[in-house]
Chains A and B, each alone.
Chain A
Amino acid sequence: MKQFEVRQRKDTRSGFGDALYELGKESDKVVALCADLTGSLKMDAFKKEFPDRFFQTGIAEANMIGMAAGMATAGLIPFTGTFANFSTGRVYDQIRQSVAYSEKNVKICASHSGLTLGEDGATHQVLEDIAMMRAMPNMTVINTCDYTQTFLATKAIANFNGPVYLRFGRPAVPDFSPQNFEIGKGVLLNEGNDVCIIATGHLVWEALQAAEQLEQKGYSAEVINIHTIKPLDEDIILKSAAKCRCVVTAEEHELNGGLGEAVASLLGRKLPLPLEMIGVNDSFGESGKPMELLEKYGLGASNILEATLRAVERRTA
């Protein structure tokens, strides 16, 4: 199987912050808003270099989304930054009415998503945000897997006209993904024949580990990274599923309403095949270290490996 070089261990949010800083240099249309989490979102560099294009909103996320909609109305490209929980559930109606239904070009950038937020626990570990944003008309939904992809995605959405939800995380993780990014286009990371693993976010790396372990058992896995959950790259999924004849999805999110359900819906309509889904099963998270939590909630490489074996077994049954 293809080997991936880990260039560094780095947090995805730094990819956001570094790209935002570059965007600031490239275009004076780019403005940034933050609700009292400038350091956490890695927005300090932008704030320091472009103080007149950085807006502190205080702990008032609803107003931050409203202000961003206003800035977009005035022709600018606003990027909002706060944790994923406060970027979605807290302001769902503001995003729905003042951004999506009003066709405002706002980029909602959300860090600290999922269980890997860690010790802060369930109040902050939003696991429903992809479901909420997927359900919303006019919204593009992206969940990045590492520093490089987050960097590239941040730059890509600036050049895309329309509201975007960009989801990334807190901890330092392996940085391995290729140096190209296109909104709406899945990435074929490894070619294989026995099972198609479709992963997003931090679980892409786990999926690659699972694929390696699977190889030792004599099976080859195709690994696809779906970073854009909406619109879904149906072609790459259907092509791979048709070849492998069984599918496993993996995401750091609830099973309800996430990537897995999007893939299930696609396969159900176009290509019914055995499908196993890795995600959080109708539960809130809790405090712990990121990797401990992935393990406890059944999202680790070993869980993905087991799911691939179940899928392969169902295929041949």
Chain B
Amino acid sequence: MKEALFLIKKAREIRKSVILSLNAAGSGHLGGSLGLADVFSVLYFHEMKHKPEQPDWLDRERLILSIGHVAPVLYATLAESGYFDKEELLTLRKLGTRLQGHPGRDHGLPGVELSAGSLGQGLGVAVGIALMDQHEKKDKRTFCIMGDGELQEGSVWEAAMSAGHYKLHNIIGIVDRNNVQIDGKTEDVMSLEPLADKWRSFGWHVLECNGNDVEELIQAFAHKSDEKPTLILAHTKMGCGIPEIENDYTWHGKAPNGEEMERFLGMLVKNR
């Protein structure tokens, strides 16, 4: 499938930018950013209606990124889409940058819809947008990416409850289900399972897919719901794309040094 090859290529470019920008910053969250590269590729280069040259286009479909710590993959994708020059990625986390350690909307980076970092807030904002779109009968969707560990925040379930209540079929939640969080495996820290059932019981339609497989992602996004909000449990590998660090949660909040950067970039080329 030609489209899939294109999206795989875009995901590889995004991963490359993530590695370069994190190395330049000297700190940041590599694992989750790499794990979500395929989701971002499919969203920005296949699924979402958006105009990089007109970031405030009123009828755009929005991504509300609730897990702010994967900012590098958002920035890399926005640059890849043309929201700003790729060179700016190397200013990540530096004094005066528009690329704050966690997205800060008031720093003026085009494409950033919401400040995020303190967890559990994005879905509620997405619900507000989706409600207004429903109210104004706009035919567009709002996407919200959450981490799996983030689902331990109670405010997520307030938002989930309200999306179910208002039958927001125009909202697509995506859970980055990589089974890990800072202190270890989610099921050891504070178990989430049975996770799909939890969402279903809140009135959501739940789909599961391999979140590192663009064709499976395309299929999942193609699902149309008439009444219920949709939740995609995207099973991803933290660090996906770099076999050496895949599923190694010590890479949750680390940046590659120069040597590691060279090695990782080499692996990216080899693997795909």
Residues of chain A within 8 A (CB-CB) of B135 are: 52-53
Residues of chain B within 8 A (CB-CB) of A94 are: 121, 124, 155
A66 within 8 A of B: yes
9 residue pairs A–B, Cβ–Cβ below 8 Å: A53-B135, A60-B162, A63-B162, A66-B122, A66-B127, A67-B124, A68-B128, A98-B115, A98-B125
Which residues of chain B from 97 to 129 have any CB-CB distance to chain A below 8 Å in the complex?
104-106, 113-118, 120-129
A76 within 8 A of B: yes
Complex contact B124–A98 (CB within 8 A): yes
B180 to chain A, nearest CB (A): 24
Complex contact B132–A74 (CB within 8 A): yes
A299 within 8 A of B: no
Residues of chain B within 8 A (CB-CB) of A75 are: 58, 132
Assuming A58-B161, A60-B162, A67-B124, is B129 touching A101 (CB within 8 A)?
Answer: no
How many residues of A sit at the interface, in one of the four size bands? Answer: 20 to 34
A190 within 8 A of B: no
Residues of chain B within 8 A (CB-CB) of A76 are: 132
Assuming A52-B135, A62-B155, A138-B106, is B118 touching A67 (CB within 8 A)?
Answer: no
A166 to chain B, nearest CB (A): 19
A binding-site residues for B, Cβ under 8 Å: 31, 52-53, 55, 57-58, 60, 62-76, 78, 93-94, 96-98, 101-103, 138
Assuming A52-B135, A102-B114, A138-B106, is B126 touching A70 (CB within 8 A)?
Answer: yes
Residues of chain B within 8 A (CB-CB) of A60 are: 158, 161-162
A77 to chain B, nearest CB (A): 11
Q: Which of A58, A73, A103 contacts B128 (CB 8 A)?
A: A73
Complex contact A73–B125 (CB within 8 A): yes
B61 within 8 A of A: no
Residues of chain B within 8 A (CB-CB) of A66 are: 121-125, 127-128, 155, 159
Please report the C-alpha to C-alpha distance between residue A94 and residue B118 in the assembled complex, in whole angstroms: 9
Which residues of chain B from 19 to 70 have any CB-CB distance to chain A below 8 Å in the complex?
58, 62, 64
Is chain A's binding surface mostly helix, strand, loop or mixed?
helix
Assuming A52-B135, A60-B161, A94-B121, is B115 touching A70 (CB within 8 A)?
Answer: no
Q: Which of A53, A58, A68, A70 contacts B130 (CB 8 A)?
A: A70
Please report the C-alpha to C-alpha distance between residue A58 and residue B125 in the assembled complex, in whole angstroms: 16
Residues of chain A within 8 A (CB-CB) of B154 are: 62
Q: Which residue of B lies closest to A65 (CB)?
A: B124
Q: Which of B115, B123, B126, B130 contacts A101 (CB 8 A)?
A: B115
Please report the C-alpha to C-alpha distance between residue A55 and residue B131 in the assembled complex, in whole angstroms: 9
Residues of chain A within 8 A (CB-CB) of B246 are: none
Complex contact A102–B105 (CB within 8 A): yes
Please report the C-alpha to C-alpha distance between residue A37 and residue B219 in the assembled complex, in whole angstroms: 43
Given A66-B125, A71-B129; 15 other pairs, CB 8 A cutoff: A55-B131, A58-B158, A58-B162, A63-B155, A63-B159, A65-B124, A66-B122, A66-B123, A66-B128, A73-B114, A75-B58, A76-B132, A97-B117, A98-B114, A98-B115
Q: Which residue of B lies closest to A71 (CB)?
A: B128
Central interface residue in A52, A60, A68, A96, by most chain B CB within 10 Å: A60
Complex contact A103–B106 (CB within 8 A): yes
B133 within 8 A of A: yes
Complex contact B127–A98 (CB within 8 A): no
Q: Which of B105, B120, B129 contacts A70 (CB 8 A)?
A: B129
Complex contact B132–A71 (CB within 8 A): yes
Contact with A along B205-217 (1 / 0, CB 8 A): 0000000000000
Please report the C-alpha to C-alpha distance between residue A62 and residue B125 in the assembled complex, in whole angstroms: 10
Which residues of chain B from 165 to 189 have any CB-CB distance to chain A below 8 Å in the complex?
165
Q: Which residue of B lies closest to A98 (CB)?
A: B121
Complex contact A70–B127 (CB within 8 A): yes
Please report the C-alpha to C-alpha distance between residue A55 and residue B165 in the assembled complex, in whole angstroms: 11
The 5 closest A-B CB pairs, nearest first, are: A70-B128, A66-B124, A63-B158, A67-B128, A60-B158
